[in-house]
């Protein structure tokens, strides 16, 4: 149930992502034209074991007639298990009105069922559903299993059911390892809602949510569990996303989890990929441009104080520089957008060990990109992020990537006070939002920050930052909260590149003098700032004059400006962080979005 | 915040739907290029009054410096109100850490602010947010307002904030009518979740949710409120849907509410549209077909035991009949789908008074469709449902719609035991799900049933029935729970027409003999039925032989079969209700969907 599609789609995706086995969930089997024996053959062909079967719920019953019917049903499912070649069946705590409350009676019924299973060489893993009628916590399920005292009966632990109820994994130590039959893992965001709805719609892969999965898994392994790690993630988005992508995301979550556990307990001897080398900053950001957007962006960069300093040795790529801010304009990107578009196509990140960064990325299931390079050009390792953006691991220096560029000899511009890249903001495909957070976390060692939601003019937008430990690298990832349809523009909000300045007012003055295409903001916005904050008169005047935005967080404040949209889906922001401001101008984003919409509509009308 | 888009989009939509006025929500104003005075002119041009302004939150504060700053901010917003020409400002209970807990101190601060407002001829409507820090219920807000004892200070009541906290509207009777300054209405589904998230994402228009809005409004009016009825619906879907459609939906919710209140209290003298005439059943269902799908569906209808009995006098429309089941195949529908498609284009509903049905529909903001008819043809009144399906109000009889058809003289087929239409299942556009429920409720007097969710192969699907009081008319409406993207097929699940039979096994035998394109179901499905239910051996054999589906509800059971998909997005179901079964085969729907997917893929491969 982690994957979308038919059973055939799911098996193919799981095998391709490198999984060793699967659980068979009854609805998939019932809807499949394959008999259980045919399914077993198909799994064997793909190198997948069948590790668990989930054929029904609500086994126990206070009604003897009902319990007898349930046992009869179980026997038929044991037949199916024989054909599937699986030896463990999941039985969840009952949610039915006739569920058994008395733990001794429950133990007796479980023991009866386990005896039937044992005759077939099968075993039952009993699991407490968080919303079970009488058994809703793992310790009560263990109490029943312990009392049943049957070799063919053990526990299935599920991290969601335990952690959503605030269960303490430390208690697993009391359970003998051989009674831990199965382990299901799921993360989740911390939500305050009905636990059944939380479980059915909002589960996530480990590392994507708020639960302490490394701590949970560590406790289970310490208790002696040695079976498979199975992912059971009910998630509305994954239910309808490309299963091949979801399966890779799922595999990455286990790779991340294994590493997190290995770091917490080096003595456990778990496999560890090479640690993510520290990323000390931005080497460059590359924009894909064409014959229309290239000159438009180049002209804007010139007005922003950049100098066209280099030309790539073998490709139509320009290097533009201002202090530590470097932008590549690449006219040869294959996956470029519509004609006239400019879009962020690659991130160059300064790695202390580019080669090791690439090896680690590959160990975290990141797709490594093939490189074509000239004989004298630098070796550049790159992987593809979930949205297709190429991530380069680089070193800036005479022996690094700049060696690929021949100097243009252009005299350096005076500059506009931009000192480097503050952050890069990438609009994500709807399906990739959670996947992207885990990708940057596991592959690059960046830390996902809190998800916040913006009330944008055409619908809610979720956004989160992923950041390096000293904020030398900051990225923001945004996506619509609901996939957009007919009315709201389907195209993502534009991406942007935010440059840092130490004095945004001085920068704004220079940019206006140079004719940079600065975005105009409504007077009402500045009027509201004046009502909300006690700002100095000269700052307020500058805000009004230059279309600056101002907001505060608990640490400090931020002044920023934006350009108009360039090449249809890209713009530039200039940010001055005051005090310890640690945000991304989210409060002002809706005003900026509406202003960009007006600008683009006006441009569309004038075309 | 009920409507998507920019302020200009919203005003246009509200005016076109017939609203008298609006609230101005600060983010819209701040993002607008119109000054407050320009906005006032624009509203006046559109015939819209500005009835409330929501410029900020968190007025009161235990910190005197902060409270002074808040008052200063309020004064600036009072300036804006002068320019807007609005006299009432909303102040919500504070959610800030410095919110005032002591009700006397709170009353004093509210009174101070009200005195400032009064000097400008303005007034403050104070509202308890359900998640306010210290004031979260309406009675506490009233206590503060009462103690403040200021003519310029009154209450704003919001149905969501009151009803989500289980508040009792009967208590409003204690509040003098002149202290009720403003009323905001929102419905919501009954959810168990954090009230803030519930409020921000899941509000609905009156009549779309689970709250007793007629009871709430009745209590407010009884207490003496005489101001506007304002809708404040934060809803993730409406935030990104076409505002013109949403505004009509919103207006219909008030029309429905007014009628519900008038029915509850005839003495109140409220306006009532003509009551919805009783719908006694199905006259016909019309399918839009073309040169490819028409013959294919016709052939299938013949194999299903139908006779082509009539031909329309002036249009390329065939009438097919079997007992009370009547199907029109219309080859002249303008909004038909892709080439080769067959789709439900119109519903013919038997009304006791077709003319009055049409008048009522128009009074409930249903778009009335223009009719072209020949001189001798019956007058047919029709309206468009949210998904574009035409709904005809008809009478079957010599003077009714059948008079438009010339008999073909074809000898009646032997039939297959189909006795009439059981239900029609319509896939809804994602944005139209809640709108459609209210449409059928308000316009046709059908009752929306519980929403259930299906785990379909390519993502969750929501479905609900709308039914007449005696189930003479049953419709089901379905939509994806999330709008589908790249992987899951974007086309909606097929629609279907379910015919009733008294003996589905006998019908299935006749259909197979006639070569009807019956859908094949997997063996695993029947194996599971055998494990789950104690079915007679001959019934199980018939289930296996004919691909029947069986499920139970609390009232009875249902046996059904489905055909293959005909014309790309349509199929036929035959249903036998046993006992008082009141469902729609939802439990079996995922199996059927997977089987249809296989059939369509196979057909696509063979093409």
| Structure confidence by residue, pLDDT tens digits, B76-114 | 999 999 999 999 999 999 999 999 999 999 999 999 999
Considering only CB atoms, which chain A residues are within 8 Å of B1?
455
Terminal Cα-to-Cα distance of chain B (whole angstroms)? 48
Nearest CA in chain B to A525: B30
State whether residue B575 is helix, strand or coil.
strand
Interchain pair B76, A243: CB under 8 A:
no
B512 located within any domain: yes
Contact B487/A524, CB-based, under 8 Å?
no
Structure tokens at B521: 């179901």
| Chain B residues in contact with A459 (beta carbon < 8 A) | 4, 236, 239-240
CATH number at residue B191: 3.20.20.150
- B73 min Cα distance to partner chain A (Å): 5
pLDDT confidence of residue A33 = 96
Q: Do the strands B447-448 and B405-407 form a parallel or antiparallel pair, or are they unpaired?
A: unpaired
- List the single residue in A73, A459, A528 with the smallest CB-CB distance to B240: A459
Query: Do A141 and A183 reside in the same domain of the chain?
Result: yes
Residues A186 and A327 occupy one common structural domain? no
CB contact under 8 A, B459 and A239: yes
Q: Which residues of chain B are within 8 Å of residue A598 when distances are taken between CB atoms?
A: 6, 33
User: Rounded to an integer, what distance in angstroms lies between the CA atom of residue A257 and that of residue A167?
Assistant: 20
Under an 8 A CB cutoff, do B236 and A460 touch?
Answer: yes
Tell me how far apart the alpha carbons of residues B275 and A370 are, in angstroms, rounded to a whole number: 70
Instruction: Give the DSSP H or E segment for B279.
Output: strand B279-288
pLDDT classification of A270: cutoffs 50, 70, 90: confident
The 10s digit of each residue's pLDDT in A83-113 is 999 999 999 999 999 999 999 999 999 999 9
Cβ-proximal residues to B30 (8 Å cutoff; 6+ apart), any chain: A522, A524, A525, A528, A591
Write out chain B residues lying below 8 Å of A591, CB-based.
Answer: 27, 30-31
DSSP structural state of residue B42: H
In this model, does residue A606 exceed pLDDT 80? no
Which of B266, B297, B326 is at the close of a domain? Answer: B266
According to the model, what pLDDT value does residue A375 have? 58
Determine whether the annotation assigns residue B232 to a binding site. yes
Residue A2 in any domain: the answer is: no
- Where does the pLDDT of residue A487 fall: very low under 50, low under 70, confident under 90, or very high at 90 and above? confident
Minimal Cβ distance to B30: which of A80, A485, A525: A525
Low pLDDT (below 70) residues in chain B: 335-336, 372-379, 490-492, 607
Tell if the CB–CB gap between A528 and B26 is shorter than 8 Å.
yes
Query: Smallest Cβ distance to B598: which of A33, A194, A484?
Result: A33
Residue A245 CA to residue A253 CA, distance in Å, equals 13
How close B347 gets to chain A, by Cα (Å)? 25
Contacts of A590 in chain B (CB under 8 A): 27, 31
Q: What are phi and psi of B387, to 5 degrees?
A: -90, 5
Helix (H) or strand (E) holding A391: strand A390-394
Q: B524 vs A32: CB contact, 8 Å cut-off?
A: yes
* List of residues 6+ apart from B48 with CB closer than 8 A: B11, B14, B15, B19, B20, B21, B22
Secondary structure element (H or E) that encloses residue B249, with its range: helix B243-264
Is A324 found in the same domain as A248? no
Helix (H) / strand (E) element for A558: namely: strand A556-562
Query: Which of B236, B458, B528 is nearest residue A481 as measured by Cβ atoms?
Result: B236
Which of A5, A77, A97, A240 to mutate against chain B (most B CBs within 10 Å)?
A: A240
Helix (H) or strand (E) holding A303: helix A293-303
> Element (H or E) spanning A317, and its range?
strand A317-322
Q: Which domain holds residue A569?
A: 279-606
Residue B237 sits in the same domain as residue B313: no
**pLDDT score of A111:** 98
CA closest to B528 among chain A residues: A30
Any idea what the Cα angle at residue B235 is, between residues A433 and A437, rounded to 5°?
10
The neighbour count for residue B490, using CB atoms within 10 Å, is 12
Among A457, A481, A524, whose Cβ lies nearest the Cβ of B29? A524
A308 lies in a domain? yes
How far away is chain A from the Cα of B368, in angstroms, using its nearest Cα?
23
Which chain A positions have a beta carbon within 8 Å of B30's beta carbon? 522, 524-525, 528, 591
pLDDT tens string A198-245: 999 999 999 999 999 999 999 999 999 999 999 999 999 999 999 999
Say whether both A359 and A310 belong to one domain: yes
Contact yes or no for A485 and B240 at CB 8 A? yes
Distance CA A350, CA A380 (A): 12
Q: What is the pLDDT of residue B331?
A: 95
What DSSP letter does each residue of A149-201 carry, written as one string?
A: --TTEEEEEEHHHHHHTT--GGGGGGS-GGGEEEEEE-B-----B-HHHHHHH
Do the Cβ atoms of A460 and B239 come within 8 Å? yes
Closest alpha carbon within chain B to A593: B31
Token pair for residue A236? 């509305």
Please give the Cα distance from A536 to A527 (Å, whole number).
14
CB atoms within 10 A of CB B7: 23
Q: How many CB atoms lie within 10 A of CB A208?
A: 28
**Minimum distance, in Å, between the CA of residue A532 and any CA atom of chain B:** 6
The answer to whether A484 contacts B480, with C-beta atoms less than 8 Å apart, is no
Say if residue B460 is in the same domain as residue B500.
Answer: yes
Q: CA Rg, chain B, in Å?
A: 28
CB B23 within 8 A of CB B232: yes
Mutation to test the B interface, candidates A26, A246, A524, A554, most B Cβ within 10 Å:
A524
**Test the B interface: residue of A37, A39, A196, A239 with most B CBs within 10 Å:** A239
d(CA A331, CA A311): 12
Do A408 and A548 lie in one domain? The reply is yes
pLDDT of residue B57: 87
Query: For the stretch B432-467, what's the b/e string if a residue is b when 16 or more beta carbons lie within 10 angstroms of its beta carbon?
Result: bbbbbbbbbbbbbbbebbeebebbbbbbbbbbbbbb
**Interchain contact, B31 vs A525, CB within 8 Å:** yes
> What's the number of domains chain B is made of?
2
By Cβ distance, the residue of B192, B237, B530 closest to A194 is B192
Both structure tokens of B244? 């013109």
Final residue before a domain boundary, out of B266, B300, B327: B266
pLDDT in tens, B267-291: 777 778 899 999 999 999 999 999 9
| Cβ A92 vs Cβ A140: under 8 Å | no
Looking at chain A, how many residues does it have? 607
Pairwise CB contact (< 8 Å): B455 & A480: no
pLDDT of residue A603: 82
Q: What angle do CA B424, B425, B430 make, to 5 degrees?
A: 145
The answer to whether residues A256 and A357 belong to one domain is no
- Do residues A147 and A283 both lie within one domain? no
The answer to whether the annotation marks B79 as part of a ligand binding site is: no
Q: Percent helix, strand and coil across chain B, each rounded to 5?
A: 35, 25, 35
- Quick one: DSSP state of residue A211? S
* Chain B hits for A487, Cβ within 8 Å: 4-5, 240-243, 431
- Closest CB from A6, A191, A457 relative to B597: A6
With beta carbons under 8 A apart, name residues in chain B contacting A460: 236, 239-240
**How crowded is the C-beta side of A362, counted as CA atoms within 13 Å?**
11
Q: Which residues of B touch A488 (CB under 8 A)?
A: 4, 240-241
Is B184 annotated to bind ligand? yes
Binding-site residue positions of A for a divalent metal cation: 127, 158, 184, 232
> Do residue A199 and residue A65 come from a single domain?
yes
Q: Chain B: give the shortest CA distance to residue A497, in Å.
A: 22
pLDDT tens figures, A527-538: 999 999 999 999
Q: How far apart are CA B169 and CA B184, in angstroms?
A: 14
**Of A77, A194, A594, which is closest to B31 when you measure between CB atoms?**
A594
Q: What's residue B396's pLDDT? A: 84
| Final residue of a structural domain among B222, B241, B266 | B266
Rounded CA separation B484/B423 (Å): 26
> CB neighbours of A596 closer than 8 A, spacing ≥ 6?
A494, A519, A562, A564, A565, A571
Does a structural domain hold residue B506?
yes
Q: Closest Cα of chain B to A533: distance in Å?
A: 9
A106 part of a folded domain: yes
pLDDT > 70: percent of chain A:
98
Asked if B415 and B322 count as a contact pair (C-beta separation under 8 A), the reply is: yes
State yes or no: ipTM above 0.85.
yes
Q: Out of A242, A458, A459, name the one closest to residue B487 (CB).
A: A242
Report how far residue B55's alpha carbon sits from residue B80's, in angstroms, rounded to the nearest whole number.
9
Q: Which chain B residues contact residue A192 at CB under 8 A? A: 193-194, 197
State mean pLDDT over A55-71: 96
Same domain, B130 and B94: yes
Q: Within a domain: residue B307?
A: yes
Residue B71 inside a domain? The answer is yes
Nearest to A30 among B29, B76, B528 (CB): B528
CATH classification at residue B574: 3.10.180.10
Chain B residues near residue A26 by CB distance under 8 angstroms: 528
Q: Are A218 and A196 members of one domain?
A: yes
Is A272 within the bounds of a domain? no
Asked if the model's pLDDT at residue A57 lies above 80, the reply is yes
CB B98 within 8 Å of CB B62 = yes
**Mean pLDDT of the residues in chain A:** 94
Tell me the count of A-B CB pairs closer than 8 A: 185
- How far is it, in rounded angstroms, from Cα B384 to Cα A394? 60
The three-class DSSP label of residue A147 is: helix
CA distance B472 to chain A (A): 32
């Amino acid at each position: 149930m982690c994957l979308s599609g038919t059973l055939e789609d799911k098996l193919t995706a799981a095998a391709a992502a490198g999984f060793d086995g699967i659980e068979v969930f009854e609805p998939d089997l019932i809807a499949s034209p394959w008999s259980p024996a045919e399914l077993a053959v198909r799994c064997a062909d793909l190198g997948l074991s069948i590790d668990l079967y989930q054929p029904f719920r609500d086994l126990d019953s206070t009604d003897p007639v009902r319990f007898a019917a349930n046992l009869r049903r179980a026997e038929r499912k044991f037949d199916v298990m024989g054909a599937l070649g699986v030896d463990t069946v999941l039985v969840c705590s009952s949610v039915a009105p006739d569920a058994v409350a008395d733990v001794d009676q429950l133990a007796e019924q479980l023991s009866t069922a386990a005896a039937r299973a044992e005759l077939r060489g099968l075993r039952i893993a009993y699991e407490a559903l968080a919303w079970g009628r009488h058994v809703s916590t793992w310790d009560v399920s263990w109490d029943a299993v312990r009392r049943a005292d049957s070799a063919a009966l053990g526990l299935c632990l599920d991290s969601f059911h335990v952690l959503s109820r605030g269960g303490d994994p430390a208690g697993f130590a009391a359970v003998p390892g051989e009674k831990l039959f199965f382990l299901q893992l799921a993360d989740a965001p911390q939500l305050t809602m009905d636990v059944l709805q939380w479980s059915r719609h909002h589960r996530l892969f480990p590392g994507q949510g708020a639960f302490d999965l490394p701590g949970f898994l560590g406790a289970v392994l310490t208790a002696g569990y040695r079976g498979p790690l199975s992912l059971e993630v009910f998630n509305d988005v994954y239910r309808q996303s490309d299963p091949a992508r979801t399966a890779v995301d799922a595999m990455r979550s286990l790779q991340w989890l294994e590493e997190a556990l290995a770091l917490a307990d080096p003595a456990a001897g778990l496999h560890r990929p090479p640690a993510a080398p520290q990323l000390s900053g931005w080497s460059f950001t590359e924009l894909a441009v064409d014959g229309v957007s290239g000159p438009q962006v180049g002209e804007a960069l010139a007005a922003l104080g950049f100098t066209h300093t280099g030309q790539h040795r073998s490709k139509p790529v320009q290097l533009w520089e201002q202090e530590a801010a470097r932008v590549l304009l690449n006219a040869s990107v294959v996956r470029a957008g519509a004609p006239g578009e400019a879009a962020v196509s690659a991130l160059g990140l300064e790695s202390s060990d580019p080669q090791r960064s690439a090896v680690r990325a590959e160990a975290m299931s990141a797709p490594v990109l093939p490189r074509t390079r000239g004989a004298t050009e630098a070796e550049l390792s790159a992987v593809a992020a979930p949205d297709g953006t190429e991530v380069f691991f680089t070193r800036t220096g005479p022996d690094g990537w700049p060696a690929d560029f021949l100097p243009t000899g252009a005299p350096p511009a005076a500059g506009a006070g931009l000192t480097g890249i503050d952050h890069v903001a990438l609009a994500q495909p709807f399906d990739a939002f959670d996947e992207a957070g885990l990708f940057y976390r596991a592959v690059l060692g960046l830390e996902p920050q809190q998800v916040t939601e913006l009330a944008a003019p055409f619908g809610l937008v979720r956004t989160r930052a992923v950041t390096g430990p000293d904020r030398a690298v900051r990225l923001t990832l945004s996506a619509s909260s609901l996939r957009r349809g007919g009315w709201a523009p389907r195209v993502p909000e534009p991406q942007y590149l935010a440059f840092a300045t130490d004095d945004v007012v001085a920068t704004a003055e220079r940019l206006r003098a140079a004719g940079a295409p600065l975005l105009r903001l409504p007077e009402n916005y500045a009027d509201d700032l004046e009502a909300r904050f006690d700002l100095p008169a000269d700052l307020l005047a500058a805000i009004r004059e230059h279309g600056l935005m101002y907001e505060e967080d608990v640490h400090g404040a931020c002044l920023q400006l934006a350009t108009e949209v360039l090449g249809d889906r890209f713009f530039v922001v200039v940010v001055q962080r005051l005090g310890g401001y640690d945000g991304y101008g989210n409060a002002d984003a809706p005003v900026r979005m509406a202003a960009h919409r007006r600008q683009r509509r006006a441009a569309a009308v004038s075309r």
